[in-house]
Chains A and B, each alone.
Chain A
Amino acid sequence: MSRVTENIERLVVRSLDGALTPDEEHELNRALIRDPEARRLCDEYRTVDRLAGGALGEVRTGRPIDLEAVFAGPSGASRPSRRTSRRFHRGWLLIPGAIAAGLLAMIVPQPALTPTGSPSQPATTLRTTPSAVSQGVWPVHENGMMRPVSTMPRMRSDTGREVIGVVGEDGNLYWIEVDRTRTIRVPASSEAGRPGSDVM
């Protein structure tokens, strides 16, 4: 084998596979005539092919395909390509998704931010003191959320909270129940913080 070049080996294999060109066939014949090692290699590969063909023939046949079992399943004849179908759905889902996102952006206000910039917690536990309010400082939420007093009466809407605390001008805290499904608009000129005022 060591004397047979890789090129001759390749030609031998191509010969066995019926892939030789006329020039290659001529080259191989010359090699086989002058080189006994090439002839030996050719014989060995031919034997390998014969044995492999016989052994693999056993694999060709086996249990017949059960066509009735195949037909028992759904046929793909009436079904469109799954890939096409998925693309179709994806594309059309973008439209209602965009509409919903737009509506949500109009309805939901920007959340109050903590001094660190993170979204605030629901204001159900807002606490403050009359003195703090009268001095114009920020009421402090139990979770650390702060909100400037000057913005409190300007509450506009909030669909994510059930109750909102509002500090009135008199320093009292008023809890206002908010309908979660409604948008509540309070004009800037309204007196939302006035004791007993009904913003609903």
Chain B
Amino acid sequence: MAAPLRDEIEIEEPVIAAIRTGDRYAFGEFVSRHEAWVRSVIFSVLGRTDGIDDAAQIVWTSVWQRIGELRDPQSWRAWLYRLARNAAVDAGREQTRRRNRGRTAAFDAVEPATYGGVDRATGREDEECREVLSAIMALPAIYREPFVLRHMNDWSYRRISDVMGLPVDTVETRLVRARRLLRDVLVGRIGQGDVAGD
């Protein structure tokens, strides 16, 4: 794994040091800065939109409780990524268990059209959004993860490879294949006019 980018280390190291002393304000700042990409990691691993909120709460609780275990503050992003990923994996297992018990029929019925409690299946744009989100969720996990990290956070190949522990070339290849798969699906589902005409 390549060394973390120097600029972000310099920005976050004092914040992490403050959190390690129990500074709640610093923790709140840290959450607000990185909440979005933590959610993107959870979504990319989980492949579903329900369960993200609960998993994110678990992640930040873990950060607060386990910040003392972060031995190298420079590797905070990879550490946080692992916490988010593990929480997502656990959430996925829990969902699978519940689904096997037949308790998630309601979730399956509303996913993802009513995510966030808002019925978004109204109008063509909402329908298109739902279709695209479904296509992304249907991607194989190895392609979905870098694709989501790239598109939700605008991360560079280098940063994605840092947190995922993959070579940059591998990340690039997976991004190409993710786009290829999405294009093949979306051309059929949304219509040639949308994709080709733009």
Contact = CB atoms under 8 A, between A and B. Distances in A.
Partners in one complex: yes
A58 interface: yes
A40 interface: yes
Interface stretch (A70-78, A91-99, A150-158, A181-189): A70-78
Size category of the binding interface on chain A: 35 or more
Contacts of A59: 39-40, 43, 49, 52, 133, 152
A52 B148 CA distance: 9
A51 B132 contact: yes
Interface in A40-60: 40, 43-60
A82 B70 CA distance: 10
A71 B64 contact: yes
A66 B175 CA distance: 34
Interface in B32-56: 35-36, 39-40, 43, 49, 52-53, 56
Contacts of A58: 49, 115-116, 120, 129, 133
Contacts of B195: 44, 47-48
A65 interface: yes
Nearest to A59: B43
Interface stretch (B4-12, B84-92, B99-107, B180-188): B180-188
B60 A70 contact: yes
A17 B175 CA distance: 10
Contacts of A80: 68
B2 interface: no
B172 A52 contact: no
Interface in A13-65: 13-14, 17, 19, 40, 43-63, 65
Interface string B49-78: 100110011001100111111010000000
A79 B61 CA distance: 15
Interface residues of B toward A: which range? 35 or more
Contact of B198 (A46, A55, A81): A46
A52 B56 contact: no
A72 B137 CA distance: 34
A57 B67 CA distance: 29
A49 B176 CA distance: 12
Contact of B68 (A55, A71, A81): A81
Interface of B: 19-22, 24, 27-28, 31, 35-36, 39-40, 43, 49, 52-53, 56-57, 60-61, 64-69, 71, 115-116, 120, 128-130, 132-133, 136, 147-148, 150-152, 156-157, 172, 175-176, 179-180, 182-183, 186-187, 190, 194-196, 198
Given A43-B198, A70-B60, 7 more contacts: A40-B196, A56-B133, A59-B49, A65-B60, A69-B57, A74-B65, A81-B69
28 contacts: A9-B176, A17-B156, A19-B156, A40-B196, A44-B187, A47-B194, A47-B196, A48-B182, A48-B186, A48-B195, A49-B151, A51-B194, A52-B182, A54-B132, A55-B133, A55-B136, A56-B40, A56-B43, A56-B152, A63-B53, A65-B31, A69-B57, A70-B27, A75-B65, A76-B20, A77-B21, A80-B68, A81-B68
Which A-B residue pairs are the 4 nearest by beta carbons? A77-B22, A55-B132, A63-B53, A76-B68
